[in-house]
């Protein structure tokens, strides 16, 4: 599996939750069932020691489906913080997949909101996740993405991702190595999307993916909810991701 370096300044690293930091338990509302994945604690610790802010961006549609309450998600997130954190920011999409919200990955809202709360430029953020929607959300926001495949990852998602690491610790070690080797200062330059999209237009370059579709802005029906910062606070921001992978695969969240 190729290890693809990330160039440019890294101001923050944002993680997907389920399948990336902790075991993916479908619609988990029980903190007692939270289990950190191998290497996750060391990966987050290395970033913390290097002074790199960290956050979590997570789809939690169990709330919108009526399976989970916001309090249950908040308590599960607090347990993740106990095991691996504390993380500097949490951004959670509580909406049903059919809500057409602006925050559900692969749309960029969660990434944009996390960067805003951290006070960093979104282009200087890296998102690490285990499925294509995580990488697409990063790209749609103007950030960079690293895919860490699991059994849930589609082969086509692995083939399309520009940056793939075999595990979370390797991904983070690669980021830190690139920071040490790269030039000081400066933001990341223009980037082609993971499925050949051009950053200026959001349109695919010969991949068969459709152009991005309009989304509802914050405050519109079905748009992102607003809540105080903290583990499990539903949040989001406007923007759109290339629509071709918006429903690439519906995972438990």
Contact between residue 100 and residue 215 where contact means Cβ atoms under 8 Å apart: yes
Residue 21: closest CA among 124, 156, 171: 171
Chain-centroid distance of CA 205 in Å reads 23
Instruction: Determine the Cα–Cα distance for residues 147 and 160; give it in Å rounded to an integer.
Output: 10
Does residue 100 carry a catalytic annotation?
no
Cα 155-161-164 angle, rounded to 5 deg = 90
Does residue 130 carry a catalytic annotation?
no
Radius of gyration for the chain, computed over Cα atoms and rounded to the nearest angstrom: 16
Residue 36, number of CB atoms within 10 A of its CB: 15
Q: Mind telling me the catalytic residues?
A: 16, 18
């Amino acid at each position: 599996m190729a290890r693809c370096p990330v160039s440019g300044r890294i101001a923050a690293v944002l993680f997907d939750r389920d399948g990336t930091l902790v075991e993916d338990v479908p619609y988990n509302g029980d903190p007692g069932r939270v289990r950190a994945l191998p290497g996750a604690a060391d990966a987050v610790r290395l970033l913390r020691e290097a002074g790199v802010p960290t956050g979590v961006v997570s789809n939690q549609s169990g709330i919108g489906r009526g399976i989970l309450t916001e309090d249950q998600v908040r308590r599960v997130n607090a347990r993740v913080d106990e095991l691996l954190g504390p993380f500097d920011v949490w951004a959670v999409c509580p909406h049903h997949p059919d809500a057409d919200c602006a925050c559900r990955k692969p749309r960029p809202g969660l990434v944009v909101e996390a960067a805003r709360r951290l006070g960093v430029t979104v282009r200087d953020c890296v998102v690490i996740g285990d499925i294509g929607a995580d990488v697409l959300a990063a790209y749609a926001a103007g950030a960079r993405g690293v895919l860490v495949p699991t059994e849930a990852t589609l082969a086509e998602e692995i083939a399309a991702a520009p940056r793939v690491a075999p595990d979370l610790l390797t991904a983070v070690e690669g980021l830190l190595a690139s920071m040490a080797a790269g030039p000081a200062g400066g933001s990341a330059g223009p980037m082609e999307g993971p499925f050949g999209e051009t950053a200026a237009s959001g349109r695919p370059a010969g991949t068969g993916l459709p152009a991005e579709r309009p989304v509802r802005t914050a405050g519109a029906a079905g748009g992102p909810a607003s809540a105080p910062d903290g583990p499990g606070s539903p949040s989001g921001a406007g923007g759109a991701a290339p629509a071709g992978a918006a429903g690439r695969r519906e995972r438990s969240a």
